[in-house]
C-alpha cells in the first residue's frame, strides 16, 4: 500500500467533512454557502436516488416478495445499499454478554436515505436532564440556544406537523411547519381510546413535504401519498441529503465529494492542530492523505468515535484527555405492541397509504407524575402509531384451509393495530465502545468493540409502556397479540433502533466532556464533531432533527472562525 498526497493547489480545500448523512450534508450545505471550500469524504459508494430507487414496483416483483434477508434486512427495495447490519470485510466485535447491532449504510447520503422521518424537537428538560433527576449530565446548551436552529432546519428540510402544547414538547413558531395529513381510521380509533385514558395524541412532526418546496437546484415535490418512504423518494418529498443539501452544496462550486473513501485517522500537524485525514480508497485499497484548515467529523456516532480512537496517541486516541471518548453510549429503547381489534374486522376499504409513516403519535405525558416520584423509571418514551390494510399476520389467521381461510384474510386485513415504543436510555458505565485490541478490518483499520447493557430505568420504562399500550388495546376490546414475557425479553437489542449517541459528548468542562457546545474538541481546536456522538444525553425524541440543528449551528460557528482567521 502506498501513501500519496492528493490535494495539490487546484484542489485546495478549507474543510474536510467526513460523512455525507444528516450532519455531513448540513455541514457541506452551510459551509459552502458561506464561501468555504469543502471536501466530503464518504466511506460508501456514490448513490443517485433518481437512477436507483424503484419507487413503484410491487413487492411481488422482488425476490421473496421483498421480504427482508441478511443481504437486505429491511426488504429488497429498501434504499440502504452496500451495507446494513454487516459490512463485508468490515466487522465489529462485542464484549462477552453484550448484544449490539450497528447499522452501517455504505452510500452517499448515509442513513438519510432510509430513516424514520419522525422529527420531534427536544425540550428544555431534555437538555438539562441531570438538573432534573440527578442522572447523567446536563448539556452545555439549552433549548433556547437550539430553538432558532430548529426553526430554520424545519423550514429547510420540510417538516409537516401540528401544535403539541404539552410539557417539554416545544411547539414550532408559525411558518415552520407544513400542514399535517389527516389521520387514518386506526389512528383515530387509538386516539379516542388513548384520550379516554388520559393519554394525549398529537399530529406527528414528520420530515415529509405536504407542500411543494421550489428550488433552482433541488426542487422537491409534495408527497403524492403513495410508495414506501424507506425505498427513497425520487420526487424529494422525504428529506434525504442526496436530493437536497448535497446537490445544493455542489451547485455552489465549492464542494468536492469523494466516495469510497474510508477515513482511517486524523493526521496531526503543527501547533496541536489537525493537518487533515488519511483515508483508504475502498476500491483500490490505496491510502491517501488530504489536508485542510479544519476537519469536520460527521461519520455517524460509531465511526466518528472509532476514527478518533484510531488517531493521536496509541491506546488513548485523539481528543480524549477527558477519557470520555467511547463512553456514555446510548440507543433508544424499543418495543412493539399489537392487538387485533374485532371492531375493525372487515372495515370499509379506502386508500390508507397517506404520507408513509404514522400521521399521529403519542408524546410522553407523565412528566408531572415522574417529578412527584410516582414512576419507577427516569426519563420518557413515546409511541408511534400503526395499523393499516394489508396482508394480515400469521398471528391473526385461524388454522383453517379453503374458503374459510380466504374469508379470514378479508376480515383480518386492516384489523391489527400497533403501538411502537421508543424511549430514552440513560448512559451507564457498562455501555461503551472501544478499539478491539486484535481485530482489524480488510483495510487494516482496527475495529470497534461494543459493550452494552440496559439498566433498570429502561427495563421498567418498557414495562410501563406495555401496561399503557395494553390498556389502550383493552379499551378497544382488542385481543392482545404480544407474548407474555418479562420486559427484558421484549426489548430491542442495543443499537437496533439505530439511534446510537453520546460517545464524544459535549460539556462545559473539558475534564468530563470531549467537545464544547459547538462540537469543537477541547483538545484539537480545528476538529469539530457534528453527529450524534456529541449528544450529552439521548432523549426518547428521535435524534435526526437535533443532529441537523446542531450541525447547522456548529457549521456557522466554524465558518465564522475560518473567516475571522482563527484557524489560519
Q: Which of residues 462-501 bind other proteins (CB under 8 A)?
A: 475-477, 479, 481, 483
List the interface residues with other proteins, window 317-346 (CB under 8 A): 340, 342-346
Query: Least distance to other proteins from the beta carbon of 60, Å?
Result: 5
Positive or negative torsion for Cα 186, 189, 191, 197: negative
Among 173, 219, 272, 398, binds other proteins (CB under 8 A): 398
Query: Least distance to other proteins from the beta carbon of 426, Å?
Result: 31
Q: Could you give the maximum distance between any two Cα atoms of the chain, in Å?
A: 79
List the interface residues with other proteins, window 208-227 (CB under 8 A): 210, 222-227
Nearer to other proteins, 220 or 231 (CB): 231
Among 415, 451, 533, 551, binds other proteins (CB under 8 A): 415
Nearest-angstrom CA–CA distance, 205 and 190: 18
Nearer to other proteins, 235 or 366 (CB): 235
The torsion angles phi and psi of 432, rounded to 5 degrees, stand at: -165, 175
Q: Which of 117, 118, 109 is nearest to 81 (CA)?
A: 109
3-state secondary structure of 507: coil
Q: Which of 442, 507, 417, 406 is nearest to 136 (CA)?
A: 507
Strands (E), 348-491: 360-362, 381-386, 416-423, 432-440, 446-451, 479-480
Nearer to other proteins, 53 or 551 (CB): 53
Ramachandran region of residue 537, left (φ > 0), alpha (ψ -120 to 50) or beta? Answer: beta
Determine which helix (DSSP H) or strand (DSSP E) holds 333, and give its type and residue range. Answer: strand 333-340
Q: Does residue 437 interact with other proteins by CB under 8 A? A: no
Query: Least distance to other proteins from the beta carbon of 49, Å?
Result: 11
List the interface residues with other proteins, window 149-208 (CB under 8 A): 179, 181-185, 187-189, 191-196, 201-203
Q: Does residue 64 interact with other proteins by CB under 8 A? A: yes
Do 112 and 80 form a contact (C-beta atoms < 8 A)?
A: no
Q: Spell out the SS3 assignment of 247-272.
A: HHHHCCCCEEEECCEEEEEEEECHHH
Query: Least distance to other proteins from the beta carbon of 355, Å?
Result: 6
Q: How many residues bind other proteins (CB under 8 A)?
A: 102
Query: Least distance to other proteins from the beta carbon of 205, Å?
Result: 14
Among 60, 97, 134, 489, binds other proteins (CB under 8 A): 60
Block residue for cell numbers 433527576: 133
Query: Least distance to other proteins from the beta carbon of 397, Å?
Result: 7
Do 101 and 62 form a contact (C-beta atoms < 8 A)?
A: no
**Alpha carbon separation from 410 to 341, 354, 396, 397 (Å, rounded):** 14, 21, 12, 10
Strand partners, 521: 515
Q: What is the x/- site pattern for other proteins, positions 239-278, by CB under 8 A?
A: ----------------------------------------
Among 394, 437, 467, 565, binds other proteins (CB under 8 A): 394
> Residue 195 corresponds to which cell in the numbers above?
384520550
> Residue 413 corresponds to which cell in the numbers above?
386485513
Nearer to other proteins, 59 or 525 (CB): 59
Do 422 and 469 form a contact (C-beta atoms < 8 A)?
A: no
Query: Least distance to other proteins from the beta carbon of 85, Å?
Result: 10
Helices 143-157 and 544-563 pack at an angle, to 10 degrees, of 100
3-state secondary structure of 369: helix
Nearer to other proteins, 344 or 506 (CB): 344
Q: Does residue 305 interact with other proteins by CB under 8 A? A: no
Span from 34-42, 60-68, 287-295, 547-555 in contact with other proteins (CB under 8 A): 60-68
Nearer to other proteins, 271 or 349 (CB): 349
Among 72, 254, 265, 382, binds other proteins (CB under 8 A): 72
Q: Does residue 387 interact with other proteins by CB under 8 A? A: no
Nearer to other proteins, 2 or 351 (CB): 351
Q: Does residue 83 interact with other proteins by CB under 8 A? A: yes
Amino acid at each position: 500500500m502506498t501513501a500519496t498526497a492528493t490535494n495539490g493547489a487546484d484542489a485546495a480545500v478549507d474543510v474536510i467533512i467526513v460523512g455525507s448523512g444528516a450532519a455531513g450534508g448540513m455541514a457541506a450545505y452551510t459551509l459552502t454557502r458561506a464561501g468555504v471550500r469543502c471536501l466530503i469524504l464518504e466511506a460508501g459508494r456514490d448513490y443517485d436516488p433518481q437512477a436507483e430507487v424503484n419507487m413503484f414496483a410491487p413487492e411481488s416483483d422482488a425476490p421473496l416478495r421483498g421480504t427482508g434477508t441478511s443481504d437486505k434486512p429491511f426488504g429488497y427495495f429498501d434504499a440502504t445499499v452496500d451495507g446494513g447490519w454487516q459490512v463485508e470485510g468490515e466487522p465489529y466485535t462485542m464484549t462477552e454478554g453484550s448484544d449490539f447491532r450497528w447499522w452501517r449504510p455504505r452510500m452517499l447520503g448515509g442513513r438519510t436515505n432510509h430513516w424514520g422521518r419522525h422529527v420531534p424537537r427536544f425540550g428544555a428538560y431534555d437538555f438539562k436532564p441531570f438538573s432534573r433527576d440527578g442522572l447523567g449530565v446536563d448539556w452545555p446548551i439549552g433549548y433556547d440556544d437550539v430553538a432558532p436552529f430548529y426553526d430554520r432546519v424545519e423550514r429547510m428540510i420540510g417538516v409537516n406537523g401540528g401544535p403539541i402544547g404539552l410539557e417539554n414538547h416545544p411547539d414550532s413558531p408559525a411558518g415552520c411547519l407544513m400542514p399535517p395529513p389527516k389521520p387514518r381510521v386506526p389512528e383515530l380509533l387509538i386516539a379516542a381510546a388513548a384520550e379516554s385514558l388520559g393519554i394525549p395524541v398529537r399530529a406527528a412532526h414528520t420530515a415529509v413535504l405536504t407542500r411543494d418546496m421550489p428550488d433552482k437546484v433541488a426542487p422537491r415535490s409534495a408527497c403524492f401519498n403513495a410508495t414506501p418512504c424507506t425505498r427513497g423518494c425520487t420526487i424529494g418529498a422525504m428529506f434525504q441529503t442526496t436530493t437536497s443539501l448535497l446537490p445544493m452544496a455542489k451547485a455552489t462550486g465549492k464542494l468536492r465529494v469523494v466516495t469510497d473513501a474510508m477515513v482511517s485517522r486524523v493526521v496531526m500537524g503543527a501547533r496541536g492542530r489537525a493537518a487533515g485525514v488519511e483515508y483508504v480508497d475502498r476500491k483500490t485499497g490505496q491510502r491517501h492523505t488530504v489536508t485542510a484548515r479544519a476537519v469536520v467529523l460527521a461519520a455517524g456516532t460509531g465511526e466518528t468515535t472509532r476514527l478518533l480512537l484510531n488517531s493521536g496517541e496509541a491506546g488513548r486516541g485523539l481528543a480524549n484527555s477527558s477519557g470520555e471518548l467511547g463512553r456514555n453510549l446510548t440507543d433508544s429503547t424499543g418495543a412493539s405492541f399489537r392487538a387485533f381489534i374485532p371492531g375493525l374486522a372487515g372495515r370499509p376499504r379506502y386508500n390508507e397509504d397517506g404520507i408513509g409513516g404514522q400521521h399521529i403519535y403519542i408524546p410522553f405525558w407523565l412528566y408531572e407524575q415522574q417529578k412527584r416520584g410516582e414512576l419507577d423509571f427516569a426519563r420518557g418514551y413515546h409511541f408511534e402509531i400503526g395499523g393499516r390494510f394489508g396482508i394480515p399476520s400469521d398471528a391473526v389467521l385461524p388454522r383453517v384451509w379453503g374458503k374459510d381461510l380466504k374469508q379470514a384474510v378479508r376480515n383480518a386485513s386492516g384489523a391489527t393495530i400497533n403501538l411502537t415504543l421508543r424511549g430514552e436510555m440513560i448512559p451507564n458505565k457498562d455501555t461503551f465502545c472501544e478499539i478491539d485490541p486484535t481485530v482489524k478490518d480488510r483495510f487494516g483499520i482496527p475495529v470497534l468493540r461494543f459493550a452494552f447493557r440496559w439498566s433498570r430505568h429502561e427495563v421498567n420504562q418498557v414495562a410501563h409502556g406495555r401496561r399503557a399500550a395494553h390498556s389502550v388495546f383493552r379499551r378497544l376490546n382488542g385481543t392482545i397479540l404480544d407474548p407474555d414475557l418479562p420486559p427484558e425479553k421484549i426489548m430491542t437489542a442495543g443499537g437496533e433502533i439505530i439511534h446510537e449517541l453520546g460517545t464524544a459528548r459535549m460539556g462545559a468542562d473539558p475534564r468530563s466532556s470531549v467537545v464544547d457546545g459547538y462540537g469543537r474538541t477541547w483538545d484539537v481546536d480545528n476538529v469539530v464533531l457534528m453527529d450524534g456522538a456529541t449528544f450529552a444525553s439521548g432523549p426518547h425524541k428521535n435524534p435526526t432533527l437535533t443532529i441537523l440543528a446542531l450541525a447547522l449551528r456548529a457549521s456557522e460557528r466554524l465558518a465564522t472562525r475560518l473567516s475571522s482567521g482563527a484557524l489560519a
